[in-house]
Amino acid sequence: MQDNSWLIVGLGNPGREYERTRHNCGFRAVELLADTLGCKIDKAKFQGLYGQTVYNGTKLFLLKQQEEEAMRDGIRGDVKDIAWGSQIRSYVLQPYTMVKDTRTQEETSDTDGVLNGNIDRFINAYLKMQANKGLTQEAQ
């Protein structure tokens, strides 16, 4: 016996900034198909929304799945504009050498190492700061 089911997945990013862009063409295609078939896509599952219907004896499962980029936004946190005053590290190379992270106050005199990519101390200081923030918020 042959199973007569189809899964149709449209990838996209939720949010108004992605509406009617190439980042959301998968969502739009699934929405148009759902509208044509009279199917509601309103059930949450699989990190997206889905709906199901039957068309000419075939079960159709329509899924609007979020792309990795949208899922990462929750992890990434706040993003600031690249503008004067929004830098996270200051580099002083003359008359003395110092690199200072303005968020965590972590600093080092090893400017050559930092400029060559050795930024682990700054990453660790930021992660510790974020962890302490989380602990402080949980305690409240």
Does the pTM exceed 0.75?
no
pLDDT tens digits, residue range 54-68? 888 888 877 777 765
Measuring CA to CA, how many Å separate 135 from each of 101, 104, 122?
Answer: 22, 16, 20
Residue ranges in the chain modelled with pLDDT below 50: 1
Q: Are 38 and 49 contacting, i.e. CB atoms less than 8 angstroms apart?
A: no
